[in-house]
Chains A and B, each alone.
Chain A
Amino acid sequence: MTQPTAGALLELSGVRKRYGQQVAVDDVSLALREGEFLTFLGPSGSGKTTTLMMVAGLQQPDAGSIILRGKAVDRLPPYKRDIGMVFQHYALFPHMTVRRNIAFPLEMRGTPKAEASRLVDEALAMVGLPHHGERLPRELSGGQQQRVALARAMVYRPALLLMDEPLGALDKSLREQLQLEIKRLHRERRMSVLYVTHDQSEALTMSDRIAVFNDGRIEQIGAPADLYERPASRFVAGFVGETNFLTGEALGRDGNGARVSLAGVAMPVSDRFLATPGSRVSVAVRPERVRLSTTGEGVPAELVDLIYLGNARRFVLRLAGGAEWTALMQADAAEASEIEPGQTVRVSWQGMHATAFPM
């Protein structure tokens, strides 16, 4: 029996789930703090939904424990967990009006009629659909259905709200608008939220913390800035934000930190991972950390293309050895650099901005 973490609403330890031979979730441990917005981010099939289902009680873990409000919930059926959930495709009841959909959880809890009606009105107003109560779900647009699903999941004020790719089916501008609304509701209601997405930019903008899933495991869990600036694995570096990779050979440390040989040039990297000299490493550098110059030190590269982004410029580079990199520069810095496509440049960076992952 593991000791509950102080202040944790929900705690998973060593949770596993397999379907036949397929391991869906492999040893997942995490704690959700009271009032926290925690996002599961990962590619499709990485076990996010399965983990959420086990929290909701819709799937049973094969091993490990799930502790909700300090109590193990292994044997607690979903309808006794008092959790709110927004499903991937909303799962609104097609034969019930919007009002009756939202009233359903209140009815199941035996809330008195008048009180329930008031709460439904409030929930409809909260999601901006005060006049849609008598419609059927199929008479609503995708965005409106999503709001109804949200209202239904929140109307009974569950302490924990689960959302499985709730915005996956919507177009970009609606997504961004609803992202802000969900954040606002989270703030106002002081709920704890477990949010699932495969969209890294959505995860970065919405979350207090992000758990990056890969192949049924959590690769890293931390604040957005932690993940972005200090990815724990090559997978996280590649999945969260945009990253350039180059394979090289570890050289060891000197007075200024670690060094790696890339295309025959010794380049600085942070010393977060200690690779034995001579071993192969994959060096990751974010596009906005890449520096370009026509003289001095650095990996030789050819500027293949220069893409105009309005406020910024994207430099597409081919490094010695063939890897394609991009560098991002603000408009004025890019203009000052006076580099033209076809020109040969030197690519460099500060050691603290490059990570060498063992391979």
Chain B
Amino acid sequence: MGAWRVLRALACTLVGIYLIAPLAIVLVISFSSASFLRFPPPGYSLRWYANLMNDPAWLDAIGVSLQVLLPTAFLSTALGTAAAYALVRGRIRGGGLIGAFLLTPMVVPSIITAAGLYMLYRWLGLNGTLPGLVIGHVVVTLPYVVATVGSALRSMDPRLEAAASVLGATPFAAFRRITLPLLAPAVLSSLLFAMVLSFDELIISLFVGSARMRTVPVQMWSNIRGDFDPTVAAIASLCFLVALIALGCEALLRRRNGEKE
């Protein structure tokens, strides 16, 4: 019995270390004083963070990422919520097929989606434009919104909407007063998740972006391929921090809602 327990604890610890080690190494290197990647670093400094803040290429990339991420998250959440509602509650002929189709970007390798978008954009003249990037990011984040909101809708008692209707609520009033508030946690968590996904997205941005339209991951990618210094580790650590904050918000939201539910 005892031996089994020790073994289990050991296994969990090892898996934990395996998962965290890369992050920890990146985090440590971002504070390195050396201008080459070495672990453990010979000394510590904030010079790579300073470098990040002074390098217009990185600042531009952060700007582009934010310009893409915000409209992407809102568009994707609004469209995804509407689509999920129509698919789950509406009586649409071929709804299952449409639902599966909406989810394809989740399973199709993103390089295929990216290549397809690139060719389509060439024709539409959208390559290297902000709308082009936003549309591309909406395509890849939408499936997550549809899945999250759809599953929340499916677990919501449809009798609540029926009750609202009998009590005198028009379909719109019932959606606004009953369905939407009950879906709020799922909608907000989709919004956060879409932001994180968009901020993290590389392949689409690589294909449909341009030298002037570079998101943070694209900038990281090109930096790594050139002579790369610990600035990448600094930005990676910042990304990690942002993701952590988003996850924290999500958990808080869930907690608050769990108390209300």
Contacts and interface: CB of A to CB of B under 8 A. Distances in A.
A357 B102 CA distance: 60
Given A85-B166, A91-B159, A93-B163, 13 more contacts: A56-B162, A56-B166, A57-B166, A58-B165, A78-B165, A79-B165, A79-B167, A87-B162, A93-B178, A94-B261, A95-B260, A104-B164, A138-B261
A136 B165 contact: no
Contacts of B168: 79, 82, 105, 108-109, 156
Nearest to A83: B166
Interface string B206-227: 0000000000000000000000
A152 interface: yes
B184 to A, nearest CB: 9
Nearest to B174: A79
A130 interface: no
A79 B169 CA distance: 6
A77 interface: yes
Nearest to B257: A95
B182 A94 contact: yes
A89 interface: yes
Contacts of A152: 167
B160 interface: yes
A155 to B, nearest CB: 9
B131 interface: no
A87 B164 CA distance: 11
With most chain B CB atoms within 10 A of its CB, the pick from A82, A95, A136 is A95
Interface string B99-121: 00000000000000000000000
Given A94-B182, A95-B260, A87 B159 contact: yes
B167 to A, nearest CB: 4
A91 B163 contact: yes
B140 to A, nearest CB: 32
B125 interface: no
B170 A79 contact: yes
A91 B160 contact: yes
21 contacts: A56-B162, A57-B165, A58-B162, A58-B166, A79-B169, A82-B168, A85-B163, A85-B166, A87-B163, A89-B157, A93-B178, A94-B182, A104-B167, A105-B167, A108-B167, A108-B168, A108-B169, A108-B170, A138-B261, A152-B167, A156-B168
A91 B157 contact: yes
B8 interface: no
Given A93-B160, A94-B261, A78 B166 contact: yes
B26 to A, nearest CB: 42
A104 B178 CA distance: 10
Contacts of B169: 79, 104, 108
10 smallest A-B Cβ distances: which pairs?
A108-B168, A91-B163, A105-B167, A78-B165, A91-B159, A85-B166, A78-B166, A79-B168, A108-B169, A95-B181
Interface in A69-127: 77-79, 81-85, 87, 89, 91, 93-95, 104-105, 108-109
Contacts of A56: 162, 166
Nearest to A156: B168
B256 interface: no
B242 interface: no
Contacts of A91: 157, 159-160, 162-163
A196 to B, nearest CB: 14
A153 B167 CA distance: 7
Contacts of A94: 160, 182, 261
A125 to B, nearest CB: 20
A83 B166 CA distance: 7
Contacts of B162: 56, 58, 78, 87, 91
Contacts of B165: 57-58, 77-79
Interface in B156-213: 157, 159-160, 162-170, 173, 177-178, 181-182
A250 to B, nearest CB: 49
A81 B160 CA distance: 17
A87 B181 CA distance: 21
A152 B162 CA distance: 14
Interface in B239-261: 260-261
A81 B169 CA distance: 11
Contacts of A89: 157, 159
B105 to A, nearest CB: 32
A330 to B, nearest CB: 46
A58 B182 CA distance: 21
B187 to A, nearest CB: 14
With most chain B CB atoms within 10 A of its CB, the pick from A56, A78, A82, A153 is A78
With most chain B CB atoms within 10 A of its CB, the pick from A83, A84, A105, A109 is A105
B55 to A, nearest CB: 48
Contacts of A95: 181-182, 260
Contacts of A109: 168
A73 to B, nearest CB: 13
Given A95-B182, A104-B177, A79 B166 contact: yes
B153 to A, nearest CB: 15
A87 B167 CA distance: 12
Contacts of A153: 167
A58 B157 CA distance: 15
A104 B173 CA distance: 11
